[in-house]
């Protein structure tokens, strides 16, 4: 919106109304123009002499002043008062005072006017020693009213008073707002006696200094106030930037997390500190239950009242009115809203907050509530602002999407593992000697991985690879697999192809991921004498070295067509004797610790 009127004008209106009403300017500023609706303190803006507003806003303020004061000439009096009350600003007023006479000020009328508004062009038609004729040519594209004309009449009438002279006599000859092409004023003033003019010139520097000092002190206070306000706004802006950055980082951080427990933990770790929450709980809704599961909790160090730790199978009954309202209506509840009970139900998880949480927000996905976030701040913390609420609602949308993605991935992975197990069972059905082999290898491999402290991603890869490590034997002739005597060289070469055959079968399955490489490498030996590529030591993935130990141990402790099984003690001896050649010594040590701790031998082979 175009801004053509200086806030010298709006400040003059506000100050005049304030004096006339004993300080009440609420009616003048209530529901002021939309151009200021984004400002928390419109009055501060309208009284700052450095700001500008639209002519429409100034027109509205003149009209309100007339209505409040019941005075059709209010705009004239505001203009007159502006000159006497110093609303010009001290630089402009000092500039005028340094001129020796009102007629010198009128010669500068256009440049002086331009400091206050861009609504008119000033034409000086006649200038004499004690009289002048001035025309005001108004900008026809602007939204103006006769109040602007009256305001200028008041200013021109009061100009001589700057030099301690009586007000000018002003007569309006023409008026733009009554159909004329411009406004024309004929004004006159009385000269001061010569002795007073001389005295005025002698005392001018002192008067200018006093006024300048007063205005400088006033502006210093204004600047201090503006500095404090700017500092506060900068802090608020910085806070907003941090919150928006947190949303961005949270989105990037959680979009790739598909493990639901880890996802929930990361969500609260990222969100709670930024929103200055002391405590937060995440609940999840299950489709088949009319209740919420306590999925994850977060607590800062300042709060002395711990929240309950979420436990498997812990449910929150939706008879709790707050949770029921959030879940069923899908709308957030903020602390202090009317219509809430005084406290949570006894025994409710929410009762741990002591009173209602500061926020209780639904997590919505595809029009359904899939969860609830409840959180609060500690004593003395600032209340939630509207900006905080907007940030939280944005957070809740990202959280809901991430949770749904993780759940979909878990369902997909569960279906995938079921398919994998079906493939493994199909393979083992061909050979009764290997029945249960894949499940046992998987169990051993996961125990070793846990003993060695490996991460979740590696353990998941081992789980899939353990179940499918021998799937390639589908491509090996059955008579070779069931042969009771030693294999011929060609037969052994055929068996050695099964890791690569398995990889070709499984490569189209994207969810297998790193597990595919483990299937290929699970017959590599630590000393480089394994197959298919003869890798050695650290060149073999650690998980593949684990799988080799688990596979070999189960093979040794199981009956095969060509030999009987070894005892657990014998098999452990084999692992130790070939540690450093076939097997990674660190993996062997970890597996032996597992076996010793469990105090059990390999399970008996079931016939």
CATH for the stretch 430-598: 1.10.3210.10
CATH number of 5-192: 1.10.645.10, 1.10.579.10, 3.20.20.70, 3.90.1520.10?
3.90.1520.10
Confidence of residue 380 (pLDDT cuts 50, 70, 90): low
Q: According to the model, what pLDDT value does residue 596 have?
A: 87
pLDDT digits (tens, 9 = 90+) for 402-439: 888 888 887 877 777 677 667 767 766 666 656 688 88
Of all residues in the chain, what percent are helix, strand and coil, respectively (each to 5)?
A: 55, 10, 30
Structure tokens at 578: 């070939």
Name every residue whose Cβ is closer than 8 Å to that of residue 83 and which is 6 or more positions away in sequence: 154, 155, 158, 159, 161, 162
pLDDT at 288: 57
Q: Alpha helix (H) ranges present in 482-526?
A: 489-495, 498-506, 515-521
pTM (whole model) above 0.85: no
Query: What confidence score (pLDDT) does residue 114 get?
Result: 65
pLDDT for 243: 66
Q: What 8-state DSSP symbol labels residue 447?
A: H
pLDDT at 94: 45
Q: Does the pLDDT at position 305 exceed 70?
A: no
pLDDT digits 0-9 by tens, 558-594: 877 667 788 888 889 999 999 999 999 999 999 999 9
What's the pLDDT band for 312 if we cut at 50, 70, 90? Answer: very low
**Domain 255-405, CATH among 3.30.450.40, 3.40.50.300, 3.40.50.360, 3.40.50.970:** 3.30.450.40
Least-confidence region, from 48-57, 320-329, 547-556: 320-329
Token digits of residue 501: 């055959």
Sign of the torsion angle spanned by Cα atoms 528, 531, 534, 538: negative
Residue 129 has pLDDT above 60, yes or no: yes
Is residue 491 predicted with pLDDT exceeding 70? Answer: yes
Distances (CA, A) of 232 to 225, 226, 237, 450, 498: 11, 10, 9, 52, 70
Query: Could you read off the pLDDT of 492-544 as tens digits, one per residue?
Result: 889 899 999 988 888 877 667 788 899 999 999 999 999 999 999 999 999 99
The DSSP bridge pattern shows strands 5-6 and 52-53 to be antiparallel
Mean pLDDT of the chain: 79
- Give the tens place of pLDDT for each residue, 73-114: 999 999 999 887 655 544 445 445 556 667 777 777 767 666
Tell me whether domains 5-192 and 430-598 share a fold: no
Domain ranges of the chain: 5-192, 255-405, 430-598
């Amino acid at each position: 919106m175009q801004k053509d009127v200086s806030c010298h004008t709006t400040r003059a209106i506000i100050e005049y109304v304030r004096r006339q009403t004993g300080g009440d300017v609420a009616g003048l500023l209530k529901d002021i123009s939309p151009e200021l609706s984004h400002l928390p303190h419109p009055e501060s803006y309208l009284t700052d002499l450095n700001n500008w507003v639209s002519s429409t806003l100034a027109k509205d303020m003149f009209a309100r002043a007339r209505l409040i004061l019941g005075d059709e000439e209010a705009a004239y009096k505001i203009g007159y008062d502006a000159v006497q009350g110093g609303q010009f600003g001290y630089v402009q007023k000092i500039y005028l005072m340094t001129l020796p006479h009102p007629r010198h000020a009128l010669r500068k009328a256009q440049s002086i006017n331009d400091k206050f508004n861009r609504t008119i062009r000033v034409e000086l038609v006649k200038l004499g020693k004690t009289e002048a004729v001035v025309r005001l040519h108004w900008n026809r594209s602007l939204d103006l009213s006769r109040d602007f004309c009256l305001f200028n009449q008041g200013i021109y009438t009061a100009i001589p008073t700057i030099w301690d002279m009586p007000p000018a006599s002003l007569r309006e000859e023409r008026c733009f707002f009554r159909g004329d092409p411009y406004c024309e004023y004929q004004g006159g003033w009385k000269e001061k006696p010569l002795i007073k003019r001389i005295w005025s010139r002698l005392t001018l520097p002192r008067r200018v200094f006093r006024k300048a000092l007063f205005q400088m002190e006033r502006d210093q206070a204004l600047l201090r106030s503006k500095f404090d306000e700017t500092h506060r706004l900068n802090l608020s802006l910085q806070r907003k930037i941090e919150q928006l950055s947190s949303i961005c980082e949270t989105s990037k951080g959680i979009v790739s997390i598909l493990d639901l427990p880890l996802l929930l933990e990361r969500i609260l770790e990222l969100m709670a500190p930024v929103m200055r929450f002391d405590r937060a709980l995440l609940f999840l809704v299950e489709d088949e239950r009319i209740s919420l599961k306590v999925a994850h909790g977060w607590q800062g160090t300042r709060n002395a009242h711990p929240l309950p730790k979420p436990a498997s199978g812990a449910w929150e009954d939706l008879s709790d009115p707050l949770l029921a309202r959030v879940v069923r209506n899908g709308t957030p509840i903020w602390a202090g809203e009317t219509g809430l009970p005084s406290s949570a139900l006894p025994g409710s998880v929410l009762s741990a907050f002591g009173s209602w949480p500061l926020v209780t927000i639904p997590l919505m996905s595809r029009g359904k509530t899939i969860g609830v976030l409840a959180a609060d701040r500690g004593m003395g913390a600032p209340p939630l602002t509207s900006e905080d609420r907007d940030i939280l609602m944005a957070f809740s949308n990202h959280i809901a999407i991430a949770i749904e993605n993780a759940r979909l991935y878990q369902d997909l992975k569960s279906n995938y593992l079921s398919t994998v197990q079906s493939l493994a069972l199909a393979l083992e059905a061909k050979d009764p000697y290997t029945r249960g082999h894949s499940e046992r290898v998987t169990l051993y491999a996961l125990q070793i991985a846990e003993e060695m402290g490996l991460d979740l991603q590696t353990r998941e890869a081992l789980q899939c690879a353990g179940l499918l490590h021998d799937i390639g034997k589908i491509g090996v002739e059955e008579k070779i697999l069931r042969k009771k005597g030693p294999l011929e060289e060609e037969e052994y070469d055929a068996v050695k192809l099964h890791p690569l055959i398995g990889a070709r079968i499984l490569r189209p399955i994207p969810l297998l991921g790193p597990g595919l490489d483990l299937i290929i490498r699970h017959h590599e030996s630590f000393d480089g004498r394994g197959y298919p590529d003869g890798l050695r030591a650290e060149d073999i993935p650690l998980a593949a070295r684990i799988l080799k130990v688990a596979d070999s141990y189960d093979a040794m402790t199981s009956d095969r067509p060509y030999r009987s099984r070894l005892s657990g003690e014998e098999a452990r001896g084999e692992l130790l004797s070939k540690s450093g050649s076939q097997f990674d010594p660190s993996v062997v040590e970890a597996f032996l610790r597992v076996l010793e701790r469990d105090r059990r031998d390999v399970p008996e082979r079931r016939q």
